[in-house]
Structure 1
Amino acid sequence: MMPDLAPLLARHRHQFAPVFDFSVASPQVARLDFTAANPRLAHPERLRDTLVFDELVRDLLAAQHATVGIGGYLENRVIYRRSPHFDAATEPRSLHLGVDVWVPAGTPVAAPLAGTVHSLADNNNFGDYGPTIILQHELEGTHFFSLYGHLTRTDLAGLAPGQLIAAGQLFCHVGPHPENGDWPPHLHLQLMADMQGRWGDFPGVAAPSERAYWASLCPDPMLVLT
């Protein structure tokens, strides 16, 4: 039986360290909408060109007088039509299981709580995570995991499975395209109650019909963002 992480994380939220050197609640941070409701996404196939996609992100931020974009948890997105990586025989994957923080390449990322490196990999496919780091954590005897995707390749060289990571320790950076999976620079942060035997990778996008299952496995990462 999978642990119910949401109430556990809520109890400890006051203890978590900032992931970035700014608060996600600050005025410089704006929510970005990547669903079909956004009229700017009427032709998502244009976003196969990462430079076009990057310009869209910049325009969306400028329209809200923001410098950082955030959002996406359980958002049914049209942007995944840019890559065959999200196609499936029965139902395309479009339900986002993490939170994206759209910041410049090179932005440092810190661990919100102490843990160890579970695994790491360069998921080097168009539209994939690119360099990926997964940490394992423990609270009140419950083990769970956090995933950091779209990083820099140099981050992988300095880490190894089993390595200790302190709360607040800078351990990776937001990567540039194309090495970050060929996306506009951003961090994909995701929580998982169970790795299901996976190593260095975990689905970050699911079929919308499976929402209930994936929401129970992957709670809202905003619980650890401050």
Structure 2
Amino acid sequence: MFVNNHIKKHHALVAYGGYLEVRNIYKGSSHFNSQAEEERNIHLGVDLWCGDETPILTPLDGVVHSFKNNTNYGDYGPTIILTHNISGVAFYTLYGHLSLASINKLKVGKEFKKGEQIATLGDTSVNGDYPPHLHFQIIKDIQDYNGDYPGVCSENDLGFYKGNCPDPSLLLKL
């Protein structure tokens, strides 16, 4: 696979894919593209490509808002969304492509401290048929979503999503 070869070639532990990248990989999934809507191919998070079972830590104190196993082809698979509050401003972070064990005993309202492990990465069989990686996204207004939120949008919807989903590298210091 391209990502694994790239990591190996550069003697790295992690590779990352960027915010607002246009990606053709979503064309193969009806979950992202139907004849009734414009193509969704603009990535709204950051992907960190590394091995399955890699521990995932929260960059901030947070509380579990929701979680779900999103099983559509090309979807997140197991996903956790945390609520954060900084100086009275609430927002959310989404962690997608996790292991099933990450959500098996999880409870809404569980608190995590900055730097605490919240999950592990899943393998290809549970994370939407992708090589192991974390999809990390910031969301200002979660709307009515629970355990899921669009991680890819169309060009027509980019203005809204760019405003609602700021660049997550701000928290990751990439």
TM-score (norm 1): 0.73
Q: Percent identity?
A: 45
Per the alignment, residue 78 of structure 2 pairs with 131
The 5 Å alignment of 1:69-108 reads 69-88=15-34, 89-108=36-55
Q: What displacement does 1:207 show?
A: 0.3
1:112-151 correspondence runs (5 A): 112-151=59-98
- Aligned-partner SS, 1:86: coil
**Max radius of gyration: which structure?**
1
Answering whether residue 140 of structure 2 is matched by residue 193 of structure 1, we say yes
- Aligned equivalents of 1:211 and 1:96: distance in 2? 10
The residue type paired with residue 119 of structure 1 is S
CA contact (8 A) 1:76 1:208 kept: no
1:67 is aligned, of 13, 18, 28, to 13
In terms of fraction of residues, the more strand-rich structure is: 2
Query: Any conservation in 2 of the 1:73–1:96 contact (CA below 8 Å)?
Result: yes
Task: Report the CA distance between 1:63 and its aligned residue.
Answer: 4.0
Give secondary structure in 2 for the equivalent of 1:147.
strand
Q: Work out the CA distance in 1 between the residues paired with 2:128 and 2:8.
A: 24
TM-score normalised by length of structure 2: 0.94
Please give the root-mean-square deviation of Cα atoms over the aligned residues, in Å: 1.2
Count of aligned positions: 172
Provide structure 1 residue ranges, at least 5 long, that are not aligned to the other structure.
Answer: 1-54
